Chain A
């Protein structure tokens, strides 16, 4: 299923009469990492959940490959779309390896016991994220940053063609933020993953992503290369604050500095 993209057509969503998404079109093609940015409450998480098929849109549709998402079974979808949810928790004391092996579930039949190949893939995913030493530890003994990487490892072990990440770098320090995005970019380049990542750090999004989508109040405000999306006007409009924007010294992207009133 490599080389499968995902698209949303006029996606709308509302909870209790409040519109969270007001008709959004997105396309994520194989081989690109798209950054989804915007203020809190803009509808980023809802858009990710709708694309993942976890939340039903109230209007519009999601197309996976060449077929509507609804026409795929849950299991078929889970073999193609990997989701790293925001702030995931696991209720019982599972080990790290057990959690990562859960990513193999859509590929397994019967009682779903993992075989040697599944364990190899899970260990490979852990190694790519620098977690090879902790596989036998219980998940709840890990730091927040390690836990977040475990869930990316779970999504990688799932071997998806589409990878959706909801704030994958939020709890991470600088080095691990860069590492996570490097791993995702490797997947995008080497395996043709179609990836969408919700990111809060605009500068990180600018350097790491091929394209950005800026949403605010459930609508797309700007989409395209970082230099077109991250202008002073769009940022100030979306985030309702003042910023200083200049050119990045090392890359052809803008660099943004918030200007709090003193």
Chain B
């Protein structure tokens, strides 16, 4: 599966295979839920009149599309952060960037912004951008971040974000408070196609911008001195990657709140399979993250049916132990 070096052809091939798997996952997952539905009935003659059609088109499809966009965004942002910081533990949630985006999103909600307007992703994007700049400013020394510095900064940022969201919650009206709680939990729900399209556009722009810097991010893995001597304009690349990753995190958080560990698990597993070249790993994480969250959400929707788990619970239960395992390895390696 892993060649001695990554060619354009290999990148395209792997991405197409993963994209096919994503489409298959979307179709399968749209058919799974507390109510049994039939694609044959829904899309057969007079299908548009059936409840099957209504459930699939109005409920299931926007839900699985949203899951794919959120998973894709978080995983690609994770791969980007890991490259930029030359640290495999970096992830939007671990870094506190998701928290920053959620604070800004919740604040926008309480200030009276319509929950389904495109201003919410914009607020979340700006929150993510501010947080990422702050966290990296504090945690980075000489182009690298030690696991300790990264985790401590993330822990503090997350605590701060949680406190701010509580604060926003306290001054919110009862109805708004329900919405704010949603940012804390990390849950997917059925949204309008319009909002799905807005989140998808943010994610698309973000991932394209990130892929364009894949080569520079590869060179940064050998340290800033090395990267600079190979022609990387480090400050420019850093700014561009910040903005791209913040777009991705903003897209994800604005429609789903704080879903943890997707940006950690997906790039890590794909790195084991495909190697660390970010020109391949970023698009592969984008598509692979979509597949991962579609199935995690399907589990969340069905495991306690008819009740629903927030998908953030599923990813945290999977990702928490996984993160501890990675941390253990990383601490051993850095000694």
Contacts and interface: CB of A to CB of B under 8 A. Distances in A.
B228 A112 contact: no
B217 to A, nearest CB: 10
A108 B215 contact: yes
A113 B225 contact: no
What class of interface size applies to chain A in its complex with B?
35 or more
Nearest to A76: B231
Given A94-B275, A98-B5, A101-B5, A49 B232 contact: no
B229 A78 contact: yes
A91 B226 contact: no
B276 A92 contact: yes
A88 B226 contact: yes
Contacts, number: 98
Nearest to B144: A91
B6 interface: yes
B8 A91 contact: no
B233 interface: yes
Contact of A106 (B5, B211, B214, B230): B230
B43 to A, nearest CB: 39
Contacts of A92: 86, 88, 221, 271, 276
B225 A102 contact: no
Given A94-B221, A94-B277, A105 B86 contact: no
Interface string B253-272: 00000000000000000010
A120 B289 CA distance: 35
Interface string B52-88: 0000000000000000000000000000000000111
B276 A49 contact: no
Contacts of B6: 98, 113
B275 to A, nearest CB: 7
B118 interface: no
Nearest to B83: A92
Interface in B209-231: 211-212, 214-215, 218-219, 221-223, 225-226, 228-231
Interface of A: 49, 52-54, 74-75, 77-79, 81-83, 85, 88-95, 97-99, 101-103, 105-106, 108, 111-114, 119, 135-136, 158
